[in-house]
Amino acid sequence: MDFAFTPEHEELRQTVRRFLQDRSDEATVRRLMVTEEGFDRATWAQLAEQLGLTALIVPEEFGGSGLGPVELAITMEEMGRTLFCAPYFSTAVLATSVLREAASDAARQELLPAIAAGKKIVAVAWAESPGIWEPADVRLKAQHGRRGWTLTGEKTAVIDGQTADEILVVARTREGLSLFRVSGSADGLQREALPTLDLTRKLARVRFQKTPAECIAASADVEAQLQRAFLLGLVALAAEQAGGAQQCLDMSTQHAKTRWQFGRPIGSFQAIKHRCADMLVAVEFAKSAAYHAAFRAAEGDAGELDAAARMAKSYCSDAFFQVANDTIQVHGGMGFTWEHPAHLYFKRAKSSALLFGDPVHHRDKLAAIIGV
């Protein structure tokens, strides 16, 4: 059923929220976002050991909690609220989903317990310029030689690609789409941290020059499996966007109540009040979209998930951007300063909107699904 959150879900939300209030306050975000690694190893360890969040969607047989998309969405939504700086999305969401859905048992056995324990950062490389996000569009080729597989080519916008201990690479072989595993210290691997619009999420360009790689998934089903992992990534990202949008609305409302001009709080001016009301509608719709997609993902119906995930990613992208944009306006000059957090959300909003395919891209796919 839609939106049937349980008391356990509520508890998870509260736990994550309390943790982040503590460990991901604005000052911490600002401190971490200008470091090279972009996250705090001690917090990461706590997140894994005390909260078990890195193990959230890792199956129980690999040392995880075996939870699903709904719990993941709740966690991502809370992380989105505070712009939590950590390789959570790359490792605990994308890499875990890719491994869970597509990888060989051996690879799962080696990587998933380490991820669950918070001991390994794993990035997923599938985007290629220009505008190649969907697994089906991947072009990078893998060659099989005397000493096994090698990769040659380039991936971009690899989240946490710079710090990852391992990189999972989506590439093509003669048989079709396959998944490869590359060690962070492999020969012929060149990683370049990209200067990013959004400082709170690190991106890298990764170049492969005859880089040795281990093939961990090559069956005929890999494309469909990777597609499912991709869609789960969209769902998680949409939830994160909904959380960011909610935080922006809260900041704006708070400000509108306390900032006075012309002898009254600015929130009593309709130009501001009405803008906030429109933000509220966008935020409520974004949550509906993200939760709906998460529940569809949990049900495991591939067709339903395809539509729901694309709907969520395109709507939440637009909504978060609009709300972040309005947040700057409501805050006036203060909203334009580096000191105020509005710009951090604004940048996160635009960068998340463009990651993994922009709203128009997903609407184009959705249009085909719904027969428009």
Contact residues for other proteins, defined by CB under 8 A: 2-4, 249, 253, 256-257, 264-265, 267-268, 270, 272-274, 276-278, 280-281, 284-285, 287-289, 291-292, 311, 314-315, 360, 363-364, 366-367, 370-372
Q: Which is nearer to other proteins, 334 or 360 (CB)?
A: 360
| Closest residue by Cα to residue 245 from 172, 310, 134, 324 | 324
Comparing CA positions, the residue from 94, 83, 313, 322 lying closest to residue 198 is 83
- What letter represents residue 325's amino acid? N
Nearer to other proteins, 3 or 336 (CB): 3
Angle between helices 302-335 and 342-354 (to 10 degrees): 150
Alpha helices by DSSP H, the chain:
7-23, 26-33, 41-49, 69-82, 96-102, 105-116, 222-258, 270-299, 302-335, 342-354, 359-370
Residue with smaller CB distance to other proteins, 287 or 340? 287
Structural element, H or E, at residue 141: strand 141-145
3-state helix/strand/coil string of 340-359: CCHHHHHHHHHHHHHCCCCH
Asked whether the CA dihedral 246, 251, 257, 263 is positive or negative, the reply is negative
CB of 372 to other proteins, least distance (A): 5
Nearest-approach distance from CB 289 to other proteins, in angstroms: 6
Q: Which is nearer to other proteins, 54 or 317 (CB)?
A: 317
Please, which residues have CB within 8 angstroms of residue 371's CB and are 6 or more apart in sequence? none
Q: Is the dihedral of CA 136, 141, 142, 146 positive or negative?
A: positive
- Shortest spacing between CB 291 and other proteins, in angstroms: 7
Q: Is 173 exposed, middle or buried (0-12, 13-18, 19+ CB in 10 A)?
A: middle
Least separation in angstroms between residue 221's CB and other proteins is 29
**Residue number with CB closer to other proteins (224 or 285):** 285
Nearest to 321 by CA among 351, 297, 299, 365: 351
Q: What's the closest the beta carbon of residue 369 comes to other proteins, in angstroms?
A: 10
Nearer to other proteins (CB atom), residue 277 or residue 334? 277
Question: What's the closest the beta carbon of residue 173 comes to other proteins, in angstroms?
Answer: 35
At closest approach, how far in Å is the CB of 41 from other proteins?
38
Cβ-based nearer residue to other proteins, 228 or 313? 313
Which of 127, 272 has the CB closer to other proteins?
272
Q: Which is nearer to other proteins, 215 or 242 (CB)?
A: 242
Amino acid letter at 140? L
The minimum distance between CB 75 and other proteins, in angstroms, equals 19
Cis peptide bond N-terminal to 130, omega within 30: yes
Give the closest residue to 345 by CA, choosing from 279, 259, 251. Answer: 251
Q: How far is the CB of 339 from other proteins (least distance, A)?
A: 24
